[in-house]
A = this chain, B = another copy of it.
């Protein structure tokens, strides 16, 4: 149906999209590790296929069809990540690259059966919601840890940064999905924070606080 390159562009456009602004050529070039000229070429092709709305120099938005396809790829990515962690016992920092390949396995029948096999999980190992077969996402609203106050408490429900380094750091500090934390102190100098976790106090940088998603 669509090539591997096209699928990766659609997924990236989806991830860069927000309600207000359209996605720029350079944003895509950065995320996809490619050159702006290559992006322009691909945008023309995706526009020809009616998967994006593209006005030269004005960036792009996904069409409804394009969004459906993007959500299906993300569904596959997250279900495979869940499989790798829950069934094959990989750590949460090991699965992203494998899922980048597996998300392109084409069969929807396969992914729907995998979904059933695992009991229809709602979130992937990084706390990201898994779209259902109709593209519906169970979106709960989360706050960045850096946006909450001293004495507030909450549950870690997601990460913004998915790099193995960050995930390994969190694992080591027991700052993993589902853990409850309380903000004990915020140092105004560098916005670093002291957290009370289930068994100990942890001092984290603002960089870390900026990449942890909390449900209050």
Contact = CB atoms under 8 A, between A and B. Distances in A.
Top 7 nearest A-B pairs (CB, nearest first) are A88-B113, A101-B105, A98-B107, A98-B110, A88-B117, A102-B105, A87-B117
Interface in A27-85: 84
A6 to B, nearest CB: 16
B105 A90 contact: no
Interface string A98-140: 1001101111001001100100000000000000000000000
Interface residues of A, number: 17
A89 interface: yes
A84 B98 contact: no
A46 to B, nearest CB: 22
A171 B106 CA distance: 26
5 contacts: A84-B110, A97-B107, A101-B104, A101-B105, A105-B105
Given A88-B110, A101-B104, 5 more contacts: A88-B114, A89-B113, A98-B105, A98-B107, A101-B106
Nearest to A107: B98
A118 to B, nearest CB: 10
Contacts of A117: 87-88
A107 B84 CA distance: 12
Contacts of A114: 88
Contact of A90 (B88, B90, B113): B113
A113 B106 CA distance: 22
Nearest to A88: B113
Contacts of A106: 101
A34 B113 CA distance: 33
A95 to B, nearest CB: 9
Nearest to A94: B109
Nearest to A102: B105
A84 B90 CA distance: 20
Nearest to A114: B88
